[in-house]
Amino acid sequence: MSVCVAIPTYNREQVLLDTIRQVLAQQPSADEVLVIDQTPRHAPATSEALTAWQREGRIQWIRCSPPNASAARNRALVEAVSDIVIFIDDDVILPPGFLESHRACYDDPSVEMVAGQVLAKDRQVHSGKVEDFDLGFPLNHDQRAWIGTWRSCNCSVRRRLAVELGGFDERYFHGASREESDLVARATAHSGRKVLFEPKASLVHLAEASGGARSWGGYYAPLAVAWAVGEYYFAFMNLPFGRMIESIAGRLFANLVNWYCLRHPWVIPAIVVREVVGFVWALILSSRGRKLIPSGQPGRVGGAC
C-alpha cells in the first residue's frame, strides 16, 4: 500500500528542516511527503530548503492559512492520493524503519488506524500493567494493544476511512486539544474498531518551546483558553452524559488542585475564568455542530486552508 507522510507546521524553522530530512531518509521511502505550512513567513534558509525539495519533487510544500491544526490535517487528507496517511509533528526524531512500521500494520485488513509510540526527550518507556486503554492510555508503552485514542504527532489512518468520516473537526483550534481523540471516537462509532497501538512505530517528540501549538501558550497556561475549549467540546460531542460530567469535573479538579496552584495561588482566579470561558465557548461550538470536509467535495476543506 502507498504511504503519505503529512507534516503540518507553524512557526518552526530548523527543527522542521531536521524533521523533513529524517522523513526523506527513511527506507522504504514514502510515496508522498506533504508539508502543510501555516507559517506566514520563514527565515530565508528555511524557504530555500523547502523550495529546493519541492523543485526536486521530494515534497509538496502547501501553504495554508489561517493557522488551524485540524484544517491543516484535512488539507493533507484532501491532497493525498496514497492509501495510508501518516501524521507527524514538525519537531520529532524518527528512527530508521519508522514509516515501514506504520505501513506493515495495514497488512492486517482489520486495522484502520494506528497509534505509534510517543517518547519525550528523556526517552522513558512505560512498561508493565496498563489501567486505561482508552483516553488515558500511556502512549510511551512498550506492548501492542487495541486502544481508544492516539496523538496527532504520531498516528496513521486509511485515507478512505478518514475522508469518509469528514476528516478532523475544525471546531478545535490553536492547540486543537482532543482533535485526534475526536476522530478516533467517530471512527470507532462508525466501524466498531479501535486503534492499534504499535510501539515499533516509535518517535521522540521534542515539544519545542516555541512555535506549533505552544504559540498560544502551554496546556496549563492560565490564559490558554483554546485547550479548555477543546477538552470541553470533546466531552460534549463524544461522551455519554455520565462520562461527560466525570470528564468535566476531572478537568476542573486537575487544573485547580495541583502543586502549581498551591505554589502560585494568585493564578487561581485567572484559571477559573479560563475554564468558565472555555466551557461556555465549547457549549456554543457544540450547538453549531462539527466543521468537517464537506461530503462529495473532495477539493475543498470545511474551514481554513
Domains observed in the chain: 3-205 (3.90.550.60), 217-288 (no CATH)
Percent of the chain's residues with pLDDT above 90: 77
User: What's the mean pLDDT when you consider all of the chain?
Assistant: 92
200 close to 101: Cβ distance less than 8 angstroms: yes
Name the amino acid, one letter, at 245: I
The confidence band for 262, taking pLDDT boundaries of 50, 70 and 90, is confident
Tell me: pLDDT of 92 over 90.
yes
Neighbouring residues of 60: CB distance < 8 A, sequence distance ≥ 6:
32, 33, 34, 35, 54, 79
How confident is the model at residue 300, as a pLDDT? 45
The whole-number average pLDDT for the span 80-90 is 97
C-alpha 59: how far from chain center: 20
Cβ contacts of 94-98, under 8 Å, gap ≥ 24: 94/19, 94/22, 94/23, 94/26, 94/203, 95/202, 95/203, 96/26, 96/27, 97/26, 97/27, 97/200, 98/26, 98/201, 98/202, 98/203
Q: Buried b vs exposed e over 100-132: b needs ≥16 C-beta within 10 Å?
A: bbbbbbbeeeebbbbbbbbbeeeeeebeeeeee
Contact status, residue 110 vs residue 38, Cβ threshold 8 Å:
no
Confidence band (pLDDT; 50, 70, 90) for 289? Answer: very high
The reported pLDDT for the residue numbered 75 is: 96
CB 86 within 8 Å of CB 156? yes
Instruction: Report d(CA 293, CA 258) in Å as an integer.
Output: 39
Provide DSSP, the chain: --EEEEEEESS--HHHHHHHHHHHT-SSPPSEEEEEE--SS--HHHHHHHHHHHHTTS-EEEE--S--HHHHHHHHHHH--SSEEEEE-SSEE--TTHHHHHHHHTTSTT--EEEEEEE-TT---B-S--S-SSTT--TTBSS-EEES---TTEEEEEHHHHHHTTSS-TTS-TT-TTHHHHHHHHHHHHHS--EEEEEEEEEEE---SSSGGGGG--TT-TT-HHHHHHHHHHHHHHS-HHHHHHHHHHHHHHHHSSHHHHH-GGGHHHHHHHHHHHHHHHHHHHHH----PPTT-TT--SS--
Query: Does residue 74 register a pLDDT over 60?
Result: yes
So what's the pLDDT on residue 303?
A: 53
Q: What is the pTM of this model?
A: 0.92
Q: Give me the phi and psi of 244, to 5 degrees please.
A: -65, -50
Q: Which of 14-23, 143-152, 240-249, 262-271 has the lowest mean pLDDT?
A: 262-271
Chain segment 158-205, per-residue pLDDT in tens: 999 999 999 999 999 887 789 999 999 999 998 888 999 999 999 999
